[in-house]
Structure 1
Amino acid sequence: MLIGIPHVLSPELLKLLMEMGHGDEIVLADANFPAASHAQRLVRSDGHAIPELLDAMLKLFPLDSYVDKPAALMQVVAGDSVETPIWDTYAAIIQERSGVADPFETVERFAFYERARRAYAIIATGERAPYANVILKKGVIT
């Protein structure tokens, strides 16, 4: 155990966050996402929800300030009537931790999958909210 490190961040996840460089992307994947088949590096975090992981990560992880939108969400598929209140939760966490007021771009479902394949790592979570997947682009420490 270490002082100041959120308990939801496993040693494996901390190692990946440290290895990532400026512009690398990491996916926080919900429980329905095909994480194992898409990941170059996979971290299992099945017992945790994405908001708690996002909040913990952003205590240590800078978002990229050189891009307009340092985070991406999977666009709701046309005709799907699902609501996405978790996106507001993410926005509030990002605003509080990084100061970015409008961090998201939305990415079409299959384009999101392709982008996830290129990501540095995917964190498979236990998040059950629909369309809860989010990609974060790492920034620099200033």
Structure 2
Amino acid sequence: MKKQGILNRELAGIFAKLGHTDQIVIADCGLPIPNGVTCIDLAYKLGEPSFLTILDTVLDDLEVEHAYLAEEIKTGNSHVYGVVQKKFPQSTYITHEQFKEQTKKAKVIIRTGETTPYANVILQSGVIF
């Protein structure tokens, strides 16, 4: 049994299979899940687990080279925007509609219980060498 890192067996398995430039999504509980994209639903009540808790946990376990966010997060969710901007100062911002379209290419969407607007990020896998 693992001692640390992602304990969720589905997520750990997906992360182990990711290659360079593959993308995953960490989503609030309202983001639509496209047909055909694997969804790991971690939500167990409104607000839990939070987007930022899951983001930090994923970043401890996964090498990320880039982040994509909806442009609307800048004015629609200043708290989450500030935290994510510090972690990924070179993020790419796209419209929320473009964001939802891009989620169709994700290897997995991790659904949190987050209830604040635009608390969603697409993370692009990097390499460790």
TM-score category by the smaller chain? 0.7 to 0.9
Decide whether aligned partners of structure 1 residues 123 and 83 sit closer, same or farther in structure 2, where only a CA change above 3 A counts.
Answer: closer
**What is the CA–CA distance in structure 2 between the aligned matches of 1:137 and 1:54, rounded to whole Å?**
13
TM-score of the superposed pair, with normalisation by structure 1: 0.78
Which sections of structure 2, spanning at least 5 residues, go unmatched? none
Determine whether 1:72 maps to 2:68: yes
Please say if residues 77 and 119 of structure 2, whose CA atoms lie closer than 8 Å, have aligned partners that are also in contact: no
Q: After the TM superposition, which residues 1-142 of structure 1 pair with which residues of structure 2 at under 5 Å, given as runs?
A: 1-5=1-5, 9-35=7-33, 37-38=34-35, 40-47=37-44, 48-64=49-65, 70-76=66-72, 82-92=76-86, 94=87, 102-142=89-129
**What is the percent sequence identity of the aligned residues?**
28
- Cα deviation for residue 89 of structure 1 reads 1.9
TM-score of the superposed pair, with normalisation by structure 2: 0.85
**What is the CA–CA distance in structure 2 between the aligned matches of 1:55 and 1:39, rounded to whole Å?**
26
Kindly report structure 1 stretches of 4+ aligned residues shifted beyond 6 Å.
Answer: none
Count of residue pairs the alignment pairs up: 124
Please say if residues 77 and 116 of structure 2, whose CA atoms lie closer than 8 Å, have aligned partners that are also in contact: no
